Amino acid sequence: MMLVIRLYAEVWQELNAQLNPYQRKFVNEIRRCEEMERKLHFIEAEVLKDEVELKDYDEHIPAPPPRSMLEMETNFEKLEEELLSINASSKQLMKNHIQLNEMKAVLENVQHLLDAATKRDAAMSISEAFKGEAGPFTVGIKSDIEKERRDENELKFITGVISRHKVIAFERFIWRFCRGKVFVRTVDIVENMDMLENQKSNDKSVFILFFSGEQLRTRVKKICNGFHGTIYNCPENQNERAQLLIQIKGQINDMQSVISKTLDYRRKIIFAASLSLKKWATMLLKLKSIFHILNMFSVDVTQKCLIAECWVPTVDLPLDLSGSSVNAVLNEMETHQMPPTHFKLNKFTQGFQNIVDAYGIASYREVNPAPWSIISFPFLFAVMFGDSGHGIIMFFAALLLVVFERKLISMKIKDEGPYPFGVDPIWNVAKNKLNFLNPLKMKTSVILGISQMAFGLILSLCNHMHNRSLVDVLFVFIPQCFFLSCIFVYLCFMVVLKWIFFYVNPAFIFGRLYPGSNCAPSLLIGLINMFMLKARDPGFVHHLNSPNATASVVINNKNYTYDVYDQCYLQQWYPGQGVVEEILLGLAVISIPIMLLVKPFYMRSLHNRGLPLPGGHSHGGDGAAEEFSFADVMVYQAIHTIEFALGCISHTASYLRLWALSLAHAQLSEVLWDMLLAIGLTMGGWAGSVAIFILYFFFGVLSVSILILMEGLSAFLHALRLHWVEFNSKFYGGTGVAFEPFYFTRLIRIAEGLEQ
């Protein structure tokens, strides 16, 4: 079983849900793995402390067998103990080395503090303090040598080291606490040349305290301890101090040699560990994850084998049955659980599938929107992004990512000739530019949106056919098609007809005289009149060829006279339009109660007769049919019917964002051109050359930051919304479970923080 887990990827099922983590069979092995992880984290911290680079490893390292756990534990424990021992020894050696250097500094500086003049000043200051006449903290030679004072031989002294920033507070505290009966001298320690590279200078000072009496000695020692000072015993005899200094220098040299050898030995251990640390961590991660999987298995009553359940792709089943040295028995099981959803993806399709999965995971064998999103998502993004110039910049940026993909992981445009695609740029200088482009983009957005919704509705038929639900096909899908087609597809049909037939010049269209662009049909108001069943006259004109007509036009060398209706753009513009629209509206209205009522009552009829419900309507994790509730089914169907009916209207309006973002992008491009680059191009002389150089910089920065980055992100988010809500809602439930197999590479990337 261990070999099977290491070789193949399955989604394993939990068979021990009734047991807590501490009651499972392999809990001790997991604890041992966690203890080894703790040791590895300690070793890794020591390696990184020495700034040693960890050696890369092969992600395809095989998982170690369980019998190797003891060897791994022994190696990790030995390595941890060695590092702990070396760290403790190094710490003590460093401490001793610092103390020797401080003692050396005391001996070298105390000689200047024990001269006759200093002792005389100390004796005078202390004598005056005892008489209540303490003078300045530092006194010079008194002119009155006959003044009474204590014998210099009675003075005692203490030497030590204290931090330099505490010296002033230390002197002030001793002066006040001892009432001037202690004489203080300090000398800053010069940077010590004997300090090791990894030792930091603490900026300390040597102090010597003169006093008289053992009681003051006790007080002074307590004060030194309070200021974290270190007291060193210094001989009073000069020869003894010289001999001691020689001994300490020798000890420092020996200590440096020992410390260097200790650190060299530590570096060797650290370097050896850095070569295998990532490999060990990977092996341990695989071993621990295997035990977690084994804890999901149930143990046979004979205690000789493990029983497991898993989902595995059918195409990989022959692979699971071959190539293993373990006598594992694999049997296919009948289950009523919903299988996880698995799609075979590559690097290109993975990104689009992630967009779909963010909306919801497809149910098992549910139509996947990703293949069509590969086409429609970039297309709708391009519609909103609006122009080819900035799109080419984004295209080349994406192309560079593709070309340098491996390194990141481990059109010449001419003005000659006809314009190849898009709207002719001559419209940019036309006075009626917005009057032409806005309706064009708005109608195109509506056509694209309704086309995508209709395609999504067709895809829902695949789900109904797969579920073998004839009631969904006849009384849900077909009424939805009638509702969408009779109103919104009909609107698209009228838009296309208007583009094809209604030009500026007069003509006969559908057998009726069309006097000109002022009578071009208004589709929006016409659709409103269709819902209101408002009576409209046929044609655009009346009194055709009447002698009393006030207008005339020549068509095909023949003169026609007519009178134009006051609101000619609201009249019927093809034969039988009123009847056709009444029929379409009637079909759309009738389809709503069919969608709402037929399916719930049909399901109740089946339930009352004890017949199974249509596919996809009875399911349960344990195979038992869910309890049928007519009220729940009715409410559910009502919600979906209302959502579809109102959604067709709101979603059609939502697709107008294609027009809005395209207009915004075009206007921003025009503003940047007119307000920046065009100003520099109109300036002449040397000033114009300087201005165009400066303005082009701002033009380029704003173009990239606003038109490419900001507008690109906005178009991406709106395209995401159109696919998630407007398109997917027509057929995609997204209530499935993702197929997430036990995969070592993914576990390693999660452990390294590369995935979530």
Asked if residue 560 belongs to a domain, the reply is no
Whole-model pTM: value is 0.54
CATH number at residue 154: 3.30.70.3450
Asked if residue 404 belongs to a domain, the reply is yes
In the structure, how many helices (H) and strands (E) does the chain have? 25, 13
- The pLDDT tens digits for 303-360 are 677 878 888 887 777 665 555 556 667 777 787 778 888 888 888 888 888 888 888 8
3-state helix, strand, coil in the chain (%, to 5): 60, 10, 30
Asked if residue 722 belongs to a domain, the reply is yes
- pLDDT for the residue 451: 92
Confirm if 563 and 543 have CB atoms less than 8 A apart. Answer: yes
For the stretch 449-460, what's the b/e string if a residue is b when 16 or more beta carbons lie within 10 angstroms of its beta carbon?
bbebbbebbebb
- pLDDT for the residue 331: 77
Question: What 3 state SS string does 64-112 have?
Answer: CCHHHHHHHHHHHHHHHHHHHHHHHHHHHHHHHHHHHHHHHHHHHHHHH
Helix, strand or coil, per DSSP, at residue 21? helix
Place of tokens 């004890």: 610
Distance between CA atoms of residues 260 and 509, nearest Å? 101
Asked if residue 303 belongs to a domain, the reply is no
- pLDDT for the residue 181: 79
- pLDDT for the residue 487: 92
- pLDDT for the residue 372: 84
Confirm if 529 and 511 have CB atoms less than 8 A apart. Answer: no
- pLDDT for the residue 29: 86
Domain count, the chain: 2
- pLDDT for the residue 58: 65
Other Cβ atoms less than 10 A from the Cβ of 9: the count is 19
Helix, strand or coil, per DSSP, at residue 596? helix
Q: What is the largest CA-CA distance in the chain?
A: 151
List, edge to edge, every strand of the sheet that includes 204-211: 183-188, 204-211, 156-163, 230-232
- pLDDT for the residue 361: 85
Name the packing angle between helices 238-294 and 27-49 (round to 10°): 140
- pLDDT for the residue 289: 85
Among 177, 207, 235, the domain boundary falls at 235
E-assigned strands of 94-164?
Answer: 156-163
How far CA 706 is from CA of 224, 388, 681, 691, 718, in Å, comes to 67, 16, 22, 22, 16
How far CA 124 is from CA of 142, 212, 409, 530, in Å, comes to 8, 12, 80, 119
Asked if residue 607 belongs to a domain, the reply is no
Distance between CA atoms of residues 359 and 520, nearest Å? 42
The chain-wide mean pLDDT, for the chain, equals 80
Asked if residue 131 belongs to a domain, the reply is yes
Please calculate the CA angle 234-238-243 and round it to the nearest 5 degrees.
Answer: 75
Asked if residue 220 belongs to a domain, the reply is yes
Other Cβ atoms less than 10 A from the Cβ of 576: the count is 11
Among 195, 214, 235, the domain boundary falls at 235
Among 214, 235, 256, the domain boundary falls at 235
Asked if residue 720 belongs to a domain, the reply is yes
- pLDDT for the residue 621: 40
Distance between CA atoms of residues 363 and 353, nearest Å? 14
C-alpha Rg value of the chain to the nearest Å: 45
Segments in the chain below pLDDT 70: 1-10, 58-59, 115-116, 129-154, 191-202, 301, 303, 318-328, 386-387, 390, 410-421, 615-626, 743, 752-756
- pLDDT for the residue 489: 93
Q: What is the residue range of 721's domain?
A: 346-410+428-468+636-738
Distance between CA atoms of residues 660 and 439, nearest Å? 11
